[in-house]
């Protein structure tokens, strides 16, 4: 089974997106998330049109690669879940 095929990756990312409210309950995450968005907005306002295109492509690629991290993390959690509970 290819864990990174489109269907599986999309399904896992949907699960994660539905669980984001749990993550947003974490104060440290919320601060970093807000700071990230504010910094991206501020940077984008200062860019030329060509730079904005590059910046938006960079952000798009960041989110697309993040989906692979989520998928891998999900499967590692399934595989190592019992060991994680022991920590």
User: Which residues of the chain have a pLDDT value below 70?
Assistant: 1, 83-87
The predicted pLDDT at position 84 comes to 62
The predicted pLDDT at position 1 comes to 63
pLDDT by residue (tens digit) across 48-66? Answer: 999 999 999 999 999 999 9
The CA-based dihedral angle spanning residues 67, 57, 52, 31, taken in that order and rounded to the nearest 10 degrees: 10
A 10 A CB-CB count for 23 gives 11
The predicted pLDDT at position 77 comes to 86
- Its sign, for the CA torsion 63, 65, 71, 72, is negative
The predicted pLDDT at position 2 comes to 86
pTM: 0.76
The predicted pLDDT at position 11 comes to 92
The predicted pLDDT at position 87 comes to 53
Q: Angle at the Cα of 74 (from 59 to 77), degrees rounded to 5? A: 140
């Amino acid at each position: 089974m290819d864990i990174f095929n489109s269907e599986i990756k999309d399904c896992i990312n949907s699960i994660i997106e539905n669980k984001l409210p749990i993550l947003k309950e974490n104060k440290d995450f919320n601060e970093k998330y807000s700071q990230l968005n504010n910094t991206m907005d501020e940077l984008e306002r200062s860019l030329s049109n060509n730079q904005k295109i590059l910046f938006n492509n960079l952000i798009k690629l960041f989110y697309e690669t993040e989906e692979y991290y989520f998928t891998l993390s999900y499967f590692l959690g399934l595989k190592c879940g019992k060991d994680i509970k022991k920590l």
